[in-house]
Chain A
């Protein structure tokens, strides 16, 4: 879509690749393709930033990262991945930021027998673990996991009827499905479902329809700053019920755009968002704070967001798996090493990362459990951990 940043990134990546002396060719190469431009740029930019913080050496083995931008375009994501594998001979590919691109990359991973770690959320990327998907892992939490947390919170807050307004794309569709299911299991009815576009300038019609259905609570399913529009409109029209958001709203820019209209909204999120407020006993706290400090030292106070955390966790998985893969005696850059790396990632047990604790297995390539989610409420314009919800 936006050709300038792509060209710049590619040139930069190529320049970096060329500047490394060829003598140390035994290093592990990690290919990264993310949506640094295009509609998902708000996810891709923190992810790209995070790559620069990832470890460059593990157990005496150098790790090199090659970053490409796929402009949130599925075709470009697949092309990037093929390029990384055939031209750069990477051992593992991380990416891409969104579900459609990641799903398309799965086939390439299976075909070239290259391990891939997606930083997109949809469970379909890794489930069920068979065929090409035996090569694919992912770090973000499933929507189901988050929807379950929301449904639990709704029960605790005595919500009986729920209104839904979400993106008119795969994100909204996915959330409408998982929340309807999770809510039904708890005896909550979804009484109205409305859609809006990321670029819409007004959601008045949808809001009026929601208000007409008089639900106890409304769930807004969007990601990034566009979630502020229905939130403001609902508050502006005097909606008094509880407003829930998805973890797509866990982004400090949302609070900036939304202002005081975002107070009291409740959302499930990765623990990274409220790392400081977690009890010390929480296994995630230490790594989450380490990542947060590193990120903010480089990109400014308050610049952290949870999307970058998924990239950090993907980097941790790779770093954790490399020593195991090296032990098999395979040399980086060979098909044997890629297979060993895949096996090694699958063996990871109880690895605390910034967004949860990973325990991979041959049945589960997402590896997160309920420790990967917390309920957060916005109080006075700040994310506040809600251990009771």
Chain B
């Protein structure tokens, strides 16, 4: 091992770590606001990456149809609850989000898939397909049991994860896909040349993290989410809808997941079930921060990425073992170091 090798490994580790960081942040966010340990986070990575790969390759992604079906189901549920409460005021907006947008996406899809559009337009379209699935998943799977215990929510997450992985296989097939890189070329820094894509990924991560920081610090919705995170009942007492918070959180989580997928799809091959392992590493990162701290989750993610890169050099057969074994000392340290406060109902 010389400096060049160490630098290349470091670069590789940071690239992967940046993706784990984004997923870790999304997991912390979802857990804080809704108490859901969001295992299906990884599925949004694959859905985002594969939807983009299909659009770029001129094929119709199956997620478009999933969006249509999920949207119809959500609207049906909303309609039922509106009839029950005899209040139709929210319905036009729900109709717009759950019926009109999916239908628009569905009819626009053949043209977008057939046309040879610039990459960023394909990215925008793919995001438009995948992101609405986030709040729909929340409405269908989590909102009806929003007040249940963390354990019940976790079990639901496992179920949602398996359902989405299965759908992923149906939509995208068993083989992997790649997308073209956002940026071509190499930048030479000292002895090692860094690919422009690495900088793009890191830049995008930093930008997303700053955007999240601004969202939580400066906007009303961000503050509402923070209030819900601190105390659900208190937030409801001051007029913050926990359903709205949950829905918004899942939208953000789906957006972060889908975007992360598109960031790594040019670097590596993405399969219908890739997301789980990436999500799991993001989860380990989130555990570093005790599922509450964004900065510690970020550091944890970078640490995991670098650890993974170096262990794949020294002991490739035990790479995953090394990464996941890290959870145990962290959990021990967290459980000894923190006072257990249970402020749930």
Interface residue ranges, A against B (CB under 8 Å): 1-5, 37, 39, 41-42, 45, 168, 194-206, 208-209, 212, 224-226, 228-229, 251, 253, 257
Contacts and interface: CB of A to CB of B under 8 A. Distances in A.
B312 interface: yes
B312 A2 contact: no
B63 to A, nearest CB: 16
B16 interface: yes
B175, B277, B308 interface centre (most CB from chain A within 10 Å): B175
B170 A257 contact: no
A234 B174 CA distance: 24
B162 interface: yes
B150 interface: no
B22 interface: no
A251 B175 CA distance: 10
A201 B316 contact: no
Contacts of A37: 166, 169
Contacts of A257: 175-178, 269
A112 B327 CA distance: 46
B12, B15, B170, B176 interface centre (most CB from chain A within 10 Å): B176
Contacts of A209: 313, 316
Given A205-B313, A225-B269, A1 B12 contact: no
B312 A206 contact: yes
B181 to A, nearest CB: 12
A345 to B, nearest CB: 30
B174 A224 contact: yes
Contacts of A229: 268-269
Contacts of A251: 175
A204 B317 contact: no
A194 B309 contact: no
Given A225-B269, A225-B271, A2 B176 contact: no
B interface, size bucket: 35 or more
B122 interface: no
Contacts of B16: 201-202
A205 B9 contact: yes
A99 B173 CA distance: 22
B15, B163, B170, B313 interface centre (most CB from chain A within 10 Å): B313
B162 A208 contact: no
Contact of A201 (B8, B165, B267, B276): B267
Contacts, number: 111
Given A204-B309, A204-B312, A257-B176, 14 more contacts: A4-B163, A37-B169, A41-B169, A168-B317, A195-B317, A197-B319, A201-B267, A203-B312, A205-B310, A205-B311, A206-B316, A209-B313, A224-B176, A228-B269
A199 B278 CA distance: 9
Contacts of B320: 197
Given A199-B271, A202-B16, A228 B176 contact: yes
Interface of B: 5, 8-9, 12, 15-16, 19, 162-163, 165-167, 169-170, 173-178, 264, 267-269, 271, 273-274, 276-278, 308-314, 316-317, 319-320
Contacts of A204: 8-9, 12, 309, 312
Contact of A205 (B165, B166, B276, B312): B312
Nearest to A194: B316
Given A206-B312, A224-B175, A226-B176, A201 B317 contact: no
Nearest to B310: A205
Contact of B277 (A42, A199, A206): A199
A39 B165 CA distance: 11
A196 B271 CA distance: 16
A198, A202, A212, A251 interface centre (most CB from chain B within 10 Å): A202
Contacts of A194: 316
A220 to B, nearest CB: 13
Nearest to A41: B174
Given A168-B317, A202-B309, A209-B313, A45 B166 contact: no
Nearest to A210: B316
A210 to B, nearest CB: 10
A251 to B, nearest CB: 7
A208 B277 contact: no
A5 B272 CA distance: 14
Contact of B162 (A1, A198, A199, A253): A1
